[in-house]
Structure 1
Amino acid sequence: MPVQIIKRSKAKSAVGAAAYRSGSKMTNEWDGLTHDYTRKRGVVHSEIILPSHAPPEFQDRNTLWNSVEMVEKTRDAQLAREIEISLPVELNREEQLQLARSFIRDTFVAAGMCADFSIHDKKDGNPHFHVMLTIRPLKEDGQWGAKCRKVYELDENGQRIPNGKYRE
Structure 2
Amino acid sequence: MAVTILIVEDELAIQELIALNLKRAGHMVLCADSAEQAKKMVNNVLPDLVLLDWMLPDMSGIEFARKLRREDRTKAIPIIMLTARIQESDKIAGLEAGADDYITKPFSPRELLARIKAVLRRRLPEMSDEVIEMGGLRLDPTTHRVHVYASNEPEKLSEIALGPTEFRLLHFLMAYKERVHTRSQL
Under TM normalisation by the shorter chain, which class is it?
A: under 0.3
More strand by share: 1
Higher relative contact order (CA 8 A, sep 6+): 1
Which has more radius of gyration? 2
More helix by share: 2
If the length of structure 2 is used for normalisation, what is the TM-score?
A: 0.26
